């Protein structure tokens, strides 16, 4: 037997084993850098994986939109007023307190209405307002809420108006849903009448509020496919009122939108649908945007 060939064979085997060890180590390192789906895992600065999307984050069209270079509403302030408050029902004495709305005295607030299945108007208004806020922020607007589910009740209608005045809102929209008779369907936008009584003077906001309401009504109809109210506004989707403290006491352009009738089964089916609510929010946000760009 010749020893030299054996040494050559042993050398080849050692080299092969070394290559295999190095390759296995490299593969393990790459796997440790990859997430469970094979892509690098997202991490937060403090370690761990990135936080999931919040449960109340808007979904559907426009969700997650980030402005790309041109924030159309940069420098604009929008007040969103989610009507009522889910906790009002636990504070009936407080919300029954009378407040001055200029030409009358009215309740601080009310509980609002609900669908026959118990979906509260206050839940609807807060959800749609949050969705609209995300869309408006994506266009660069500063969005102020009158309440964000963070109050024990209210605020009162005079406080809602006062907040818009205090932040010098460029536009203010109060989000609601109606509680009318079955068969009454569709949306309508409420505009302020000319009221000059007591501390109320809407003289300066009647015209711009009509312009705001017209834009919101048009965009809401286009986004949702919903028809204007068949019981108010004579088919225009616009109604004028002088008895709402949130409008009477406003010094900035402001409207209410009643997005549908919660007591009508067909309207209720839309109002309880998250995808439809996203469309409603888009219509409101686009109407505000059109008004502020003109």
Residue 230 tokens, joined: 């068949």
User: Which bin fits 20, alpha (ψ -120 to 50), beta or left (φ > 0)?
Assistant: alpha
Are 153 and 235 in contact by the 8 Å Cβ rule? The answer is no
Active-site hit among 121, 139, 215, 258: 258
CA-to-CA separations, 272 to 110, 144, 259, 260, 268, in angstroms, rounded: 21, 25, 12, 11, 6
Are 59 and 70 in contact by the 8 Å Cβ rule? The answer is no
**Does 139 qualify as catalytic in the annotation?**
no
By C-alpha distance, which of 191, 197, 187 is closest to 283? 187
Helices (H), 107-230: 121-138, 157-166, 206-224
In a 3-state reduction of DSSP, which class is residue 80?
A: strand
How many C-beta neighbours within 10 Å does residue 142 have?
A: 16
CA-to-CA separations, 176 to 81, 84, 212, in angstroms, rounded: 9, 8, 16
Burial of 20 (0-12, 13-18, 19+ CB in 10 A): exposed
Active site residues per annotation: 258
């Amino acid at each position: 037997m010749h020893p030299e060939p054996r040494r050559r064979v042993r050398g080849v085997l050692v080299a092969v084993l070394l290559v295999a060890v190095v390759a296995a180590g490299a593969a393990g390192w790459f796997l440790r850098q990859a997430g469970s789906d094979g892509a690098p895992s997202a991490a937060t600065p403090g370690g761990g994986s990135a936080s999931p999307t919040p449960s109340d984050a808007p979904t559907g069209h426009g969700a997650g939109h980030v402005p790309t270079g041109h924030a159309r509403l940069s420098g604009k302030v929008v007040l969103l007023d989610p009507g009522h408050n889910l906790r009002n029902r636990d504070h009936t004495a407080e919300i029954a307190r009378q407040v001055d709305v200029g030409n009358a005295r009215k309740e601080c607030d009310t509980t609002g209405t609900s669908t026959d299945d118990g979906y509260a108007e206050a839940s609807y208004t807060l959800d749609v307002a949050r969705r609209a806020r995300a869309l408006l922020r994506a266009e660069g607007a500063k969005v102020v809420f009158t309440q964000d589910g963070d109050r024990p009740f209210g605020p009162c209608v005079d406080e809602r108006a006062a907040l818009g005045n205090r932040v010098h809102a460029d536009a203010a929209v109060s989000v609601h849903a109606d509680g009318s008779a079955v068969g009454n369907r569709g949306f309508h936008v409420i505009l302020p009448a000319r009221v000059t009584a007591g501390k109320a003077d809407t003289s300066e906001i009647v015209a711009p509020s009509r312009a705001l309401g017209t834009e919101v009504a048009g965009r809401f109809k286009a986004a949702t496919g919903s028809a204007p109210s068949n019981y108010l506004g004579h088919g225009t989707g616009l109604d004028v009122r002088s008895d709402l403290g949130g409008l009477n006491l406003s010094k900035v352009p402001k409207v209410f939108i009643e997005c549908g009738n919660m007591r009508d089964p067909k309207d209720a089916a839309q109002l309880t649908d998250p995808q439809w609510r996203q469309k409603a929010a888009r219509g409101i946000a686009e109407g505000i945007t059109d008004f502020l760009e003109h």
